Amino acid sequence: MLLSRTQADYKTLKKADLIDLLTERDNTIAGYEQELLKVSGQLSELNRILGLRNKKIFGTSSEKSRVVIKDKQPDYIEYEELVKTDEQPQEPAAAVERPKGKRVYTLPHPGRYAIPENIRREEHHIYPDEYDPSWNRELPPERTERLSLKIELIAEVTIRHKFARGEQIVMAPFPINDPFYKYKVTVDLVATQMMLRFALHTPYYRFRQLLSGCPIGYSTLINCAARTFVLLAPLRPVLHAVILQEAELLCMDETTFKLLDTPVKIAAFRTGLMEQGNQALRFLPANAAVEQLKKQIICTGEQPDEREQEWEKGLSKAKIAVKGQMWALLNPAAKLVLFEFSPSRATINAVLLLKDYQGLLMADAYSGYIRLAKLMGINITLLSCWAHARRYFLESQNPEHPDPVVREIIHRIDGLYHIEKQVKGRAPRKKKRARKRSSAILRALKIYLDEKIQLYAPKEAVAVAIQHCLNHWEALTTYTQYGSAPIDNNQTERAIRPLTINRKNVLFLGSVEQAAGAALMYSLMECCRMHQVDPFTWLLDILKRIENYPKEQLVDLLPHNWKKLNQCGKSPPGNT
């Protein structure tokens, strides 16, 4: 309407019409400005999400250098008085400046370590040119030791002699400590295969490339792995019991892992999981509220998508890839971890792992753990992870234009970690006393979050990060009341790291049975790493023992107990 008028038309208009015309123009311009601001905000949010995606794919996972905090922080709220307590140490006296000397290393350079004596030596003697044995005498030679690795494929031939004794034929039996005597491979090769697959993240097809001199079928390697899973299966309930035994603190987390199997077997697994859930929750009283909670715990996360519903109807008989969950249960005091695979993220998986556990539980903010704590009541004290909360703030802003509010919040969270760094390795009683300073920082942070959340729109990234902290504030601050409680769940994150590496290398787990066996192998290999046990040596020894080992003493075969017995020079029973 405005553009269709000429200059002559404006001259003929009255004052009231001109005012209406200008008002209409201003409203139109204001509408365009609002739409431009909305589009600009959406573009900024998309750029932030794209930056996070590129950082996750191509960048480093470290969070130490994401936010640059200057020495002088903005004073948004006065909280220094709350931080000061009687437990705060006094300021040390001014230290006398000393001249900086040459840096002294407490340990020798790694390249200068002597080669261990248990490694076999092969000596190669080199004599000078024109050497003559008639020379006067030989001086001490120059000896140089270097490590050499020779990978050689050997065919181990077992010849069992047989004799005629009267009317009978007597033949030597197979060794009882060889569970693979009917296979084309030896225990040594299987132990190497499993160590490379589950400890060094090498897929089976890459292991086959090492055996190129004598091709072995892919199905043979799969059968060897299946046989290993069957042999080690009795260690799973033993490891689970040891983790829960007298534990005051447990940590839980889960990560995705794809499963490749037929729809019928996947559906049967889910049905069995629901039946186990009904059996495990039979002790709950019968009322409407409890039944609703029970339904949420068992069924939440079990609903398949449309594609899986079609597969389960029998429209496809081929194997399908389903995104499942690898659940992790960690006992940080005992340095033991157990992984359990499930094709769902339902809370019942955590219930079955914890059983009758009573104590502290460190986990992330997944709603399933909240339902679990509500189910267990006072038996479970739920702790939440400050590393996850801090990550929300790191991902809520553009690094090129940092938000001062986010920078201040991260600075205060770093203050909590600074206190944890000071008390690391101390007794729980001293940790609890020192965490009174953390409680003061948290009280001030709560006030600051309540004040600053009003500055942002509800769906804005910073507001979502603040609301996450406020929604889980009790679980985030409970750690200050216990000396043995951690501030975050990073220990479990480190235990899960081998799974994330394997997930990129192997893509999926072969079947429901393979998934259960792989979860146990991941658990045992991670326990070996935590207790500094050589996985190949342990696995080679265990595979030879476990078939004839007493069931009531299987706990001795777990990596930490096996290490103790070998250090003491004792031979566990069953070593024949």
> Within a domain: residue 109?
no
In terms of domains, do 372 and 263 share one? Answer: yes
Q: How many CA atoms lie within 13 A of 235 on its CB side?
A: 34
* pTM recorded for the entire structure: 0.78
Q: Report the C-alpha gap between 349 and 276 in whole angstroms.
A: 10
367/249 same-domain check: yes
Report which of 150, 151, 170, 149 is spatially closest to residue 161, judged by C-alpha positions. Answer: 170
Q: How far apart are CA 428 and CA 196, in angstroms?
A: 39
Query: And the tokens for 442?
Result: 């948290």
268 and 365 co-located in one domain: yes
Are 545 and 574 spatial neighbours (Cβ–Cβ below 8 Å)? yes
Task: State whether 210 and 274 are in the same domain.
Answer: no
Instruction: Quote the pLDDT of residue 138.
Output: 81
Q: Which helix (H) or strand (E) covers residue 339, if one does?
A: strand 336-342
3-state secondary structure 161-216: CEEEECCEEEECCCCCCCCCCCCCCCHHHHHHHHHHHHCCCCCHHHHHHHCCCCCC
**In this structure, is residue 437 part of a structural domain?**
yes
Do residues 489 and 388 make contact, with C-beta atoms less than 8 angstroms apart? Answer: yes
Q: What are the structure tokens assigned to 494, written together? A: 């480190």
Q: Map residue 229 onto helix, strand or coil.
A: helix
Place of tokens 């802003």: 397
Query: Within the chain, which residues score under 50 in pLDDT?
Result: 1, 3, 65, 67-96, 303, 305-307, 309-315, 571-576
Of all helices (H) and strands (E), which one includes residue 261? strand 249-261
Residues 6+ positions from 380 with CB-CB distance below 8 Å: 354, 357, 358, 359, 361, 372, 373
Assess whether 436 and 357 both reside in one domain.
Answer: no
Say if residues 492 and 328 touch (Cβ distance below 8 Å).
yes
Q: 519 with 535, same domain?
A: no
- Please give the sequence-ordered ranges of beta strands (E in DSSP) within 443-576, or none if there are none: none
Distances (CA, A) of 370 to 33, 331, 374: 44, 20, 6
Residue 470 lies in a domain: yes
Report how far residue 438's alpha carbon sits from residue 445's, in angstroms, rounded to the nearest whole number.
10
- Does residue 351 belong to any structural domain of this protein? yes
Residue 558 lies in a domain: yes
- For residue 138, give Cα distances in angstroms to 133, 144, 145, 197, 534: 10, 18, 20, 51, 42
Question: Is 79 inside a domain boundary?
Answer: no
Using CA atoms, how far apart are residues 251 and 485, in angstroms rounded to an integer?
10
The two tokens of residue 350 are 């955590």
Q: Are residues 369 and 400 in the same domain?
A: no
Q: Are 234 and 554 in contact (CB under 8 A)?
A: yes
What residues are paired with 336 via a beta bridge?
331
Helix (H) / strand (E) containing 16: helix 15-58
Number of structural domains found in the chain? 3
- CB 505, CB 383: distance < 8 Å: no
> Using the 8-state DSSP alphabet, how is residue 115 labeled?
P
Question: pLDDT tens across 452-500, in order?
Answer: 999 988 888 899 999 999 999 999 999 999 999 999 999 999 999 999 8
Task: Give 133's DSSP letter.
Answer: T
| Burial class for 124, CB neighbours closer than 10 Å (0-12, 13-18, 19+) | exposed
β-strands 336-342, 249-261: how paired? unpaired
Do 518 and 558 belong to one domain? no
Q: Which residue has the tokens 């509800």?
A: 458
- Say yes or no: 223 and 260 in one domain: no
Whole-number Å distance between alpha carbons of 565 and 325? 35
Contact 343, 266 (CB under 8 A): yes
Closest CA to 404 of 368, 473, 455: 455
Asked whether residue 300 falls in the same domain as residue 337, the answer is yes
405 in Cβ contact with 469 (< 8 Å) = no
- For 566, the token pair is 């070998």
pLDDT of residue 196: 93
- Whether 242 and 309 share a structural domain: yes
Cα–Cα distance list, 394 to 45, 63, 67, 212 (Å): 14, 8, 7, 48
The answer to whether residues 325 and 349 touch, using CB atoms and an 8 Å cutoff, is yes
Q: Which tokens hold the place of 346?
A: 């339902």
User: What is the CA angle 452-455-458, rounded to 5?
Assistant: 100
Last residue of a domain, one of 488, 518, 548: 488
* 524/551 same-domain check: no
Kindly state the tokens that stand for 93. 């006296």
- Asked whether residue 137 is domain-assigned, the answer is no
The Cα-based distances of 449 to 63, 364, 443, 471 in angstroms read: 22, 20, 10, 12
User: Of the residues 425, 455, 488, which one is the last residue of a structural domain?
Assistant: 488
CA 568, CA 72: separation in Å to the nearest integer?
A: 56
Task: Tell me the C-alpha distance between 226 and 229, whole Å.
Answer: 5
Strands 162-165 and 320-331: unpaired
Q: Quick one: pLDDT at residue 90? A: 47
Q: Which domain holds residue 301?
A: 234-379+506-530
Residue 3 lies in a domain: no
